[in-house]
Structure 1
């Protein structure tokens, strides 16, 4: 197995473990508070610092890695550590300042994110946000540590990073049900800080040594700011779309924000497990191939990454659409999460799943453009997608009866439009890169997923009729149906002679031989 493949598999394993615990956090929240005003307030409070800094953090990570490599190559290890400390300290101070501003102006910030909140829900959201937003400095430092570890080819620790955060939040959710929901933000704050302290020892082991050094006039810091700009805007537009979705959802029936969140978390589980792992590892490789002007290998990497995403995401997307209700019921329906919450979340999941392939390919194609040192194209396409999402949100909610479903569908449509625009832009930039091969794999994957859907539904209804209701019976029914569907899909793409299947089979064989 290649070094890149090993790194991707290792990161997937770490991410799977972290995501499972993260999913446990959502289950704990759903069981304790269901789709209620308290869960809505807590989710909005958790989302505000993430929205404010995720775009900045992602942009910093994207720009930091190539500049660190350049500093180390030209000036040595000592200079690269000095550069890291400079960026680290500047980011920490900026985040601390922003968090203090946020703590002072919490109420207008919350009202901007959730215009429909009133009364006790608004009061809770303000209190929750004021506490959680104090963790902004740790968020900033965390992104720099993640980038440092990745540039040192340590992908596992950043993948495991959410584990302590989720443990603290789960524990606080459980304790809050016995004492007070106002404990929730304190667990989130401690969780945010724990992510940084979890990564720090591993960064030190890789050679990081902290020093209180700041130089705003450093030319590499100036270059970093120049590189961050377009990436920041491109990432920020996705966050703006999230804000708009949640803001409009706050004007709908109670629990709408929670339903969107639970459905989105299911999609994000797939994205984090497969797509983010693939893109995180392939980005350095694409950058190297672009620098070497190895067009053939570069194009081959684009095709392989895109086709792998298609083969993984299409069946999951179709499966989530046809089995949305039983999946949500099995995972969430307990405690305060009732049949109404299951219905709302299932509807959101169905329409989010339509755009799952768009979410997946968008991340991969974005890395392709960054490897080509083109940050403007993803930014422009992202802005167009954001505009489309907002327009569709307004249309679906105000002029149709779709309501919650309309918000999810608008997000999916904008994601699909984005990848179409990115593919067109990429072909114009580098010429033919195998778009026909990607389209062929897409068609074959859809055929296989269609056959899978028919078999899965038939098996599910047949087994359900025999076993009946009950948690264990429903779990067995769902597992058997999904297993049969997976076999049908695997056989279908093998029969249809999808080339990437051979790569997967060869990888498995190689792994078995090693054992």
Structure 2
């Protein structure tokens, strides 16, 4: 298991580091300005649907169904055709009516801003079609416990955007955001090509070819129906985090200029440890737990969960301390240059600290949610996610009044805490407390105190140095 986690984490690390490089260049070119808000808003739509339909819901529903299928080739291709047809149709709809869909994202924006953003929304949305192909192929690779290709593939997106920023660095902001939008599609094509190569190397091409060659049977249709019964609750469960992000972005449009960008840049830092640690561990863990539960081997499932729990908690705890106590130096180092000034650094650091409050709750919620999905409890996971969304929205509206963009980030962390508590309750408090009884709990407390003191002293030194 640790080999799978390491390969997944390493791939995500490379991807996120190049992503940070891309964001650093983008902040230098656009700053926290109207044009950065326009581009990020246009890119928000495909990201929203990508995370709802492609990455989260699809993988968590498809994997257990695929493991249980008696005709894997036919089942896989039948599901691919159904989803691809829907996504292509949706992309055409967005292309025909881009202004309408853009207005759904930023209802407080005026006609001029909507008109500037709409063409970019139409271009960016086609990335969803490409990334669904990547997600489908990546799920087949995960079943073979091959994680690196999918984790690494986002590097191609980042490289494409970096090249666009280099080529158009001296252009006007409008040209830069159009170049970035087209580079996203180029990056998506490179991701698809990478996955097709990995599929061929892993000997999985015969699954795809076989699925196209043979007709569906009654058994496969029954499996499709079972998949649908899992998928739609999974859509609801996975969409709540993205809907919350969608709502936060829309609420930020009511705040001071640059608020959308503060949320984006702070969330990029937050997502680095979350992806490298939480997503990497849970992604590697999911097929193992799903297979163990299918074989009625709950002891093996618990052993994998125990190892993952403490590895996740220790690494996320360290990240929380570093992210909160070193927030301003981190933002200064990564982003304060060009059009991004000291005020932007301080505002983004405030948002980052509020995001980091929820890092451990979000990570543990993700871990235990995987356990629910592996047990086919998709509907219960969806109910929990909806409750956390409602809590998130209520606190967003309340806290943004006094805290601005930072209040929106804190509301998200509160929602994450609620989701963690309810998910753990459903999995079982006894199992959770059994995990806490481990000897690792003492190491966790001692390590937290030691690293907390060290990071506090380092922050004090760096603040005096840079200011």
Match of 2:384 in 1: 381
User: Counterparts of 1:149-164 in structure 2 under 5 Å?
Assistant: 149-164=141-156
Alignment counterpart, residue 158 of structure 2, candidates 166, 170, 176: 166
Task: Specify the alignment match of 2:120 in structure 1.
Answer: 128
Q: Decide whether aligned partners of structure 1 residues 86 and 347 sit closer, same or farther in structure 2, where only a CA change above 3 A counts.
A: same
Once the two structures are TM-superposed, the CA of residue 296 in structure 1 deviates from its matched residue by 3.4
The size of the alignment, in residue pairs, is 454
For 1:56-455, what aligned pairs fall within 5 Å after superposition? 56-57=53-54, 58-71=56-69, 74-75=70-71, 80-118=72-110, 120-179=112-171, 180-181=175-176, 182-205=178-201, 206-209=203-206, 210=208, 218-398=221-401, 401-427=402-428, 432-435=430-433, 437-438=435-436, 445-446=444-445, 448-455=447-454
Q: TM-score, normalised by structure 2?
A: 0.91
CA RMSD after TM alignment: 2.2
Deviations 1:47-89 (A, max 9, x none): 1012123211122222222333333xx34xxxx3333222222
CA 447–111 in structure 1, closer or farther in 2 if over 3 Å, else same = farther
Return the offset for 1:21: 0.8
1:178 is paired with a residue whose SS is coil
Query: Shift in Å at residue 175 of structure 1?
Result: 2.7
Question: Residues of 1 paired with 2:49 and 2:7: CA distance?
Answer: 30
Deviates more, 1:408-417 or 1:300-309: 300-309
Alpha-carbon distance in 2 for matches of 1:139, 1:374: 26
In structure 2, what is the Cα distance between the partners aligned to 1:91 and 1:386?
26
1:14-53 mapped onto 2 (5 Å cutoff): 14-53=11-50
Moved more, 183-192 or 315-324: 183-192
Report the CA distance between 1:438 and its aligned residue: 2.3
SS of residue paired to 1:41? helix
Quick one: distance in 2 between partners of 1:462 and 1:323? Answer: 10
CA contact (8 A) 2:15 2:151 kept: yes
1:123 deviation in Å?
A: 2.5
Deviations 1:170-205 (A, max 9, x none): 112233333323322111222223221221121123
Question: Is 2:145–2:284's contact at 8 Å kept on the other side of the alignment?
Answer: no
Distance 2:442 2:383 in 1: 28
Mapped contact 1:41–1:124 kept (Cα < 8 A): yes
- Quick one: structure 1 residues 316 and 231, their matched pair in 2 at CA, closer, same or farther if it must change by over 3 Å? same
Aligned partners of 1:378 and 1:447: how far apart in 2? 33
Q: After superposition, what is the alpha-carbon deviation per residue over 1:367-412, rounded to whole angstroms, capped at 9, x for unaligned?
A: 11111121122111100000000000111123xx211111000000
Shift of 1:270: 0.5
Q: Give the C-alpha shift of residue 118 in structure 1.
A: 2.5
Q: RCO higher in 1 or 2 (8 Å CA, sep ≥ 6)? A: 2
| Structure 1 CA distance for aligned equivalents of residues 58 and 217 of structure 2 | 16
Bigger shift: residues 334-343 or 52-61: 52-61
Conservation of the 8 A alpha-carbon contact between 2:64 and 2:374? no
Structure 1-normalised TM-score? 0.83
Residue aligned with 2:169, SS: helix
Which residue of the partner structure matches residue 461 of structure 1? 460
